[in-house]
Structure 1
Amino acid sequence: MLTRRADFLAANAGRRAPMPGFVLLVRDRGDDDASVRLGITVTKKIGNAVIRNRMKRRFRALARELLPEAGIAGADHVLIGRAGGVERDYGALREELRKALRKLGAA
């Protein structure tokens, strides 16, 4: 899990895949560690704390489900919540994340 601001800023320089519910940033760390790290950020523009926390919980559940097999090894993945993301169907978010991972994995 990403917690340091420097890691989030470094991921911002990586590749991005904007989707309707979120933006996925992926940056190869360049070290010998093949683990997949995740960072989640939802700004205060999205809503109050309850809504932001709900969105983060949904992102964590999506990541647990998809990143082990579809994530890019040795890379940091950052999910940035968008305004329409919390109202979106969970299945739609799953397909969007799968599509974003395929797009960035092929690049």
Structure 2
Amino acid sequence: MTHDAPKSTAGRLKSRPQFLAVREGEKLRGKYVLIEVLDHKAPEQAPRVGFTVTKKQGNAVERNRMRRRLREAVRLSAQFAMKPGHDYVIVARRDVLETPFEKLAGELTDRIANGPKPRPSGAARPRKV
């Protein structure tokens, strides 16, 4: 049995210091995920990606299912939007479980390719006087 699915070209973030370093980068907020991006200024390096699902999101079975869905969405579509020399940490929100896969993959790709969503003009937080 052979699989014709595309091979992943993105590397993996594995250690805690790597994940913590990415927290200093840009944050891309979406409905289903928060994506943290750090530019290493090394365009020859392949993009690296890591996944985080907090215990607040559910039990171990649910968290692993969220992680698997995100990993597959990145493998099939979002990895092609990732820029070389960048690290990405994808933090799942609870809605990842119920969202149709195509919608999840589309949002991931869109968020990575287009950067942060512009805020509507009236959506800024009120300032304390």
TM-score, normalization by structure 2: 0.75
The count of corresponding residues between Structure 1 and Structure 2 is: 105
* Structure with higher helix content: 1
Question: How many percent identity over aligned positions?
Answer: 34
Structure with higher Rg: it is 2
For residue 48 of structure 1, the aligned residue among 59, 65, 74 is 59
TM-score, normalization by structure 1: 0.89
The residue number in structure 1 matching 2:101 is: 90
Matches of 1:96 and 1:58 in 2, distance apart? 13
Q: Runs of 4+ in structure 1 displaced over 4 angstroms?
A: none
For the aligned residues, what is the CA RMSD?
A: 1.6
Matches of 1:15 and 1:8 in 2, distance apart? 13
CA contact (8 A) 1:26 1:104 kept: no
Matches of 1:74 and 1:29 in 2, distance apart? 5
Matches of 1:82 and 1:89 in 2, distance apart? 14
| Larger RCO (CA under 8 A, 6+ residues apart) | 1
Matches of 1:82 and 1:68 in 2, distance apart? 20
Q: 1:90 to 1:84 in 2, by over 3 A?
A: same
- Per-residue CA deviations over 1:35-67 (Å, capped at 9, x if unaligned) read 011100000000000100000001110111124
* 1:61 pairs with 2:72: yes
Between stretches 41-50 and 81-90, larger displacement belongs to: 81-90
The residue number in structure 2 matching 1:79 is: 90
Q: Identify unmatched segments of 5+ residues in structure 2.
A: 1-11, 117-129
For residue 101 of structure 1, the aligned residue among 83, 105, 112 is 112
Between stretches 9-18 and 39-48, larger displacement belongs to: 9-18
Between stretches 26-35 and 13-22, larger displacement belongs to: 26-35
CA contact (8 A) 1:23 1:80 kept: yes
Letter in structure 2 aligned against 1:30? K
Residue 32 of structure 1: CA displacement? 5.6
Matches of 1:18 and 1:67 in 2, distance apart? 15
Q: Identify unmatched segments of 5+ residues in structure 1.
A: none
